Structure 1
C-alpha cells in the first residue's frame, strides 16, 4: 500500500519556527489605519476554477487570460488553466483595503482541510505596501487533490475572511505512466519486448574506456576514469527499449486526470552500463542497484558510483537522463586484451537551439509555450525510463544460460539530479525495494534560484518574461526579495520584485507534477536513506529541507558535515563520486549496506563528520555556504 504522509498528526518543526518568526521579527512598520482593513481578495480560491467532471478533483483552473503580460507569461497562464487544482505550496495572497501589520496578520492565517482536522500556519511572509497585499506560503506542503479552507482571523488592524481552494492531482501523471508500464500496455503499444540487449562484456582489469562524444559539428574523445574495482569485476555495455511520452518540445501532453494519462508517442533505445562484482553470480543473478546520474553527467558516472557496491557483492547499472550523454552518434571506445571495440553509447542530446552544437544537457528542458515547466516532463520521462529498466532486468550477460542481473528486489541510488528523479521513482514505483537519495532537493525552480551554479537559468527565464529588475550581475540581474523558510516577514522595496515572485510561484506550480518533493510523501521511511551535504552550493540545503520535510523523512536523513573536514572550503555537492575524499567511500559504504541489507550505518563510526540521523532539521534551513556568497 502506498504511504501518504503529507499531513502529520503533529505540527512540524517548520510550523513552530514559522509561527515564532512571524511573532518575533519586526517588519517595516505599516502605516497606521483609522479602521480595520477590509480583505478585498484572497488567492488561491475555487472561484478561479470551473467544474470539469473529466478531472479527479472535479475542477479545472480558470485564471484570467486578459492582460496576462508578455507571451511567455500568457503561455504560462494557459498551461496552468489545464490543471485540475492549485499548487501544493501555493503563494497565498490576501489583499487589504489599507495597510496591516505583516507579522501579526500572518500569525492569524491558517490553512485547514475542508473535511478533516489537519491544519498549518504560514511562513515565507512578504508584505507589498504598494498594493496592501500580504503574501505567504503554507508552513507545510499540502496534499494533492484535497480541498482546504484558507482563513484569516480578524485582529486589531484587519477584518476576517476565508475561502476554499483545491490542490491539483500532482502525483497522478507519473502514476499513470507507471501503471501503463506495469501493466505492459505502454510496451505493447510500441512493440517493446522487455529485456536488455548486451553488446559488450569486458573484464574490468586491463580495460580502458573512452567516450567519443557527438557534439554536433565537432566530436570529442574523452577518456573515462575507471577506479580500482575488486579483482574479477566485469564491465557491461548494452541497451534496452523504453516507451516515450515526450513530444518534440520536451513536454508530455496534458490530459484530463481521470483518463489514465496520454498514450506513449514512440519508443527509444536507451543505453545501459553495468559493473558486476567478481565471481560467479548467485542463482537468479546478482542483486542489482540502478544508479541515477546527475545533471550534466551521463552513464560514465556509473563507473565511479559502483565501487562500494562491487565490494559488497552488488551489481550497478544505469542509463542516460533525457537530453544527456551528447548526441546519438556518441560511442564507447573500449580497449581490452589488445583489441579495440566501438559501441554506441546512445546519447540522448539534441541540437535544441539550432546552433550546430550539442551540449551535455541539451534536450532536457522544455521549449515553446511549456518552457516555464523547464525539466518537469524530462524528469517524468526519465523516471519512467528507470521503471522500464527495472522491469528489463533478469538478464543473461555472459550467455551461459542463467541470469547475471537479478530482476527481483531491485534497489536504486542516485546522485544530485539522480536523487531528484530517484525520489520520484521511489515514491511512484513500489517495484523499487530500497533507495539511497544522495544530495537531492526541490522544487527545481528553487534550486535554480538559490544555487550560484544555476541562478543564470532563472535569469534566462525571467529575461524571456521581461521581468529582470537589476543591473547587478552578481545577483543575476534580478532581485526577488524572497525570504527562506523560517525567516521573518520581508517588506518589498525593490520595483519588480513582486512580479518576479508571482512568475516563479506560477512556474513552480506548473512544474510540481515533475518535482521530487511531490513524491517524497509516498515513500515509506524504511525504504529510503537521504544523504545531504552541509553547505551544498549546487542543491542548496533549504531545498533538501523541503524534500525531506514533505515526506517526514528526518529519521532517515544522513548529514555529511563537510564543514568539519579539510575540504570545508569547497562545495561538497559531488562528494559521493570524488573518490579521493574519505567521504566518498564512506558514503558509498552506507549506500551499499542499506541497499543490500536495509541497515543504516554511520559511515564514520560515530565521529563528528557524519550525523546519522541528522541531529537538528533546522540545520538545513539556511544556505550554509562556506565561501562568502551574495544572498539572492
Structure 2
C-alpha cells in the first residue's frame, strides 16, 4: 500500500507555528550556541530485526530482552518480537552525545520512504535532558510493510546520521481472516454455514422488550428495560442468531502467525445473537435494504432499537449483533411482550465471561486479553468483532423472516453504521471488507491506548496498566497517579521533568505498537472516501477529539467528516459523546445525526442535517479544531 497523496491541513500550519513559538519560548542561553552534537543512536532501525522468510517483510523484530523491567514489560517485548516490523506511528528516539536545542534538532529529522519520493517530518517532540535523547513521532502515519529511511540532517549544531527501518504488516491478519470468510475456508474448518436462524418475530407497535442480564455465576440475574422508541414502531422486530467462526483463544487473543502465510486459523464456532428492526409499508423486491449497526462499549445489540429510529421510517432495515465480551453472560435472554400477549423468552447469547473469577460478569468482561497477554488489550477482540460483522453481512442474503416464501432482508449493497466502539471496529470493517457498500462512523477514535490516556472516563484504565507494569510515578490522584508529559499533535516540544515519565512514554508506545493490527487508524487508509462519512462531536470526553483526528487524518478523509458543534448548543456543558442515540437529552442532534445516516446509507447522499445552522459543519471547516481536547472544563485535561 502506498501513501494516499494529501493536501496538508491547517494542522501543519499550527504545528509550524507551535515550533516557531517554541524556539523563542524554550531555548535557554546555555543552548543558544551548543557544541556540535553527534547522534549516537537512532530508533527504529532494522538492525534490531532478524531475517525471516516466513514474513511478508522478510524481517522479524528482535528487541533486546535483557533488563526489560517488570514481567509485564518483558512479556510485551516478547510479543513485539513476533512482529514483522515496527509501528506505523513509531516513537522515534535520537540519542545525542550532548545537549541540543530540541526545536532545531526536530526540524532536521525526516522519515523518507526508501523507494519513492514520499517523506514527512516529526511532531509530538519530547526532550529528555537526562539522556540527551530526542523523542518524536512522524507527522503522518506510515504505510504498513514499507521500508523507510530515518534521517537526521547535519546542521550548525549537530552532525548527521541515517538508518533504515521497516514497518509491520499491520493490516495482514484481519485481511487474511476476511479472505478465509470469503473463500469459505473459515466455515468449512468449523463446520458451519452462513445464514440467520429466526427465533422470534413480533410487531414493533405495542411490544415491550427486556434484557435479562446474566450477571453472576451463581444465577442471580438482573433485568433491564430496553427502550423501543415510538418512532420505530409500525414495523417488525426480529430476534435470532447466526453462527460465526472464531479465531479467539481463551485468553481473548488470536494466534500470531507469520504474515507470509494465510493467517491464523479459526479455533471454534460461536452462536451469536442478532436483533433487527424492519420498516413498515411495502417491502421492495428482493427485501429491505439492510444496514448493520455496531454498538458502543458496555452496550449490546439492544441499542439497535434506538439506532433504527430514522432508518425504519426511511425504508432501511437495521440489524445488530453483540460485541465480544458484551451482553453479560451466556444465559442472558430477551423477554419480549407483545401488546395483550404473554411474554416470550428468547436467548440473547451474551458474550461476557467471568475473567477475574469473582463470580460476577460485568458489561465488558471478556473484551480484553487476560493474563500474560494483557498488553494486547482489546486488539484481538476488535478483530474478532470485525470478522463477526463480516460474517453477519454474508448471512443476510435470502433471509425469509416470516417464512412466507419472500426475502425480507436484502444481502445486496449492505451498509454499516456504528457509534463509539461501533465506529472504531466499524472503521476496521469498512477498510478491510469491500462488501460494505457505505458506512457512517459516529465518534470513533484511535488508538485505544490514546483514548484511555486522554479520556477522563478511561484514564483509570491506563493507571491500572501502568501499576501492573510498576510504572506509576505520581502521588497526585487528580492525574490518576501518573505524569506522562506527552504533548498533543501540533503542540511544541516538552522537556521531561518528572522522573519515570520517559519509561511511561515507552511502555505506552510499545503497547500501541502491539495493538496496531486491531486499531482503526490502521485501516482508515484502505477506505475509499466515497464509501464513508465520519460524525465527530466537538469536545467529546469519551473518545477525545485528538484520537478522532488520528483516524481521519490517517486516511485523509477530512472531506467526508461532519462535525457536531455541541459547544454551540444549550447542552454545551454535557459530554456530547452519546448524542446519536440519546433521544431524550440530545433530541434534535440525535434525529439530525440519524437523518444524515439514513440519507447516506439509503441514497449515498451527504446532507447537512441542520441546513444553514452552524451546529453541524458538513464537511468540517477546519480539521485543526480536533487537535485540542476541547473540554469545556479545563480540570478534565490530563
- TM-score category of the 2 structures, normalised to the smaller one: over 0.9
Distance 1:200 1:129 in 2: 66
State the Cα distance separating 1:7 from its structure 2 match: 4.0
Partner of residue 614, structure 1: 620
SS of residue matched to 2:26: coil
Of 233, 236, 250, which residue of structure 2 is paired with 1:234?
236
State the Cα distance separating 1:5 from its structure 2 match: 6.5
Q: Is the 8 A contact 1:292 1:415 kept in 2?
A: yes
Partner of residue 384, structure 1: 387
- Tell me which moved more, 538-547 or 210-219: 210-219
Partner of residue 278, structure 1: 280
Distance 1:83 1:628 in 2: 39
Distance 1:7 1:106 in 2: 24
Partner of residue 454, structure 2: 450
Deviations 1:354-395 (A, max 9, x none): 000000000000012221110000000000000000000021
SS of residue matched to 1:577: coil
State the Cα distance separating 1:214 from its structure 2 match: 0.2
- Tell me which moved more, 70-79 or 230-239: 230-239
Q: Is the 8 A contact 2:10 2:622 kept in 1?
A: no
Partner of residue 14, structure 1: 11
Q: Is the 8 A contact 1:428 1:519 kept in 2?
A: yes
State the Cα distance separating 1:10 from its structure 2 match: 4.6
Partner of residue 315, structure 1: 317
SS of residue matched to 1:148: strand
Distance 2:453 2:8 in 1: 28
State the Cα distance separating 1:321 from its structure 2 match: 0.4
Deviations 1:281-319 (A, max 9, x none): 221110000000000000111110000100100000000
Deviations 1:218-247 (A, max 9, x none): 210111111013552110000000000000
Q: Does 1:258 align with 2:260?
A: yes
Q: Does 1:627 align with 2:633?
A: yes
Partner of residue 359, structure 2: 356
Q: Is the 8 A contact 1:5 1:552 kept in 2?
A: no
Of 572, 577, 582, which residue of structure 2 is paired with 1:573?
577
Q: Is the 8 A contact 2:296 2:422 kept in 1?
A: yes
Of 523, 530, 541, which residue of structure 2 is paired with 1:526?
530
Q: Is the 8 A contact 2:89 2:138 kept in 1?
A: yes
Distance 2:473 2:529 in 1: 43
Q: Is the 8 A contact 1:535 1:623 kept in 2?
A: yes
Distance 1:286 1:630, change over 3 A: closer
State the Cα distance separating 1:9 from its structure 2 match: 5.1
Q: Is the 8 A contact 2:6 2:556 kept in 1?
A: no
Of 601, 609, 626, which residue of structure 2 is paired with 1:603?
609
Q: Is the 8 A contact 2:109 2:121 kept in 1?
A: yes
Deviations 1:262-288 (A, max 9, x none): 110000000000000002422111000
State the Cα distance separating 1:495 from its structure 2 match: 0.3
State the Cα distance separating 1:30 from its structure 2 match: 7.8
State the Cα distance separating 1:188 from its structure 2 match: 1.0
Distance 2:139 2:618 in 1: 25
Partner of residue 593, structure 2: 587
TM normalised by structure 1 equals: 0.98
- Tell me which moved more, 285-294 or 208-217: 208-217
Partner of residue 496, structure 1: 500
Q: Is the 8 A contact 1:11 1:120 kept in 2?
A: no
SS of residue matched to 1:576: coil
Distance 1:206 1:71, change over 3 A: same
Q: Is the 8 A contact 2:471 2:504 kept in 1?
A: yes
State the Cα distance separating 1:523 from its structure 2 match: 0.3
Partner of residue 87, structure 1: 87
Deviations 1:18-66 (A, max 9, x none): 3332233133638447631111100000000001010000000000001
Q: Is the 8 A contact 2:446 2:521 kept in 1?
A: yes
Partner of residue 40, structure 2: 40
Partner of residue 155, structure 1: 155
Distance 1:344 1:42, change over 3 A: same
Distance 1:267 1:250 in 2: 14
SS of residue matched to 1:162: strand
Unaligned runs of 5+ in 1: none
Distance 1:174 1:361 in 2: 22
Q: Does 1:422 align with 2:419?
A: no
Partner of residue 471, structure 1: 475
Of 393, 400, 418, which residue of structure 1 is paired with 2:396?
393
State the Cα distance separating 1:13 from its structure 2 match: 4.0
Distance 2:43 2:327 in 1: 43
Deviations 1:91-121 (A, max 9, x none): 0000000000001110111101000000000
Of 337, 341, 347, which residue of structure 1 is paired with 2:344?
341
Distance 2:8 2:100 in 1: 27
Partner of residue 513, structure 1: 517
Partner of residue 294, structure 1: 296
TM normalised by structure 2 equals: 0.97
Distance 1:263 1:446 in 2: 30
Distance 2:373 2:30 in 1: 41
SS of residue matched to 2:301: coil
Distance 2:34 2:226 in 1: 72
State the Cα distance separating 1:12 from its structure 2 match: 4.6
Distance 1:39 1:31 in 2: 19
Q: Does 1:53 align with 2:53?
A: yes
Distance 1:108 1:593 in 2: 47
Partner of residue 563, structure 1: 567
SS of residue matched to 1:110: strand
Partner of residue 405, structure 1: 409
Distance 2:166 2:634 in 1: 42
Of 541, 562, 579, which residue of structure 2 is paired with 1:537?
541
Unaligned runs of 5+ in 2: none
Partner of residue 184, structure 1: 184
State the Cα distance separating 1:570 from its structure 2 match: 0.2
Deviations 1:398-432 (A, max 9, x none): 10111100000000000000000000000000000
Distance 2:95 2:523 in 1: 32
Partner of residue 132, structure 1: 132
SS of residue matched to 1:100: coil
Distance 1:137 1:448, change over 3 A: same
Q: Is the 8 A contact 1:19 1:122 kept in 2?
A: no
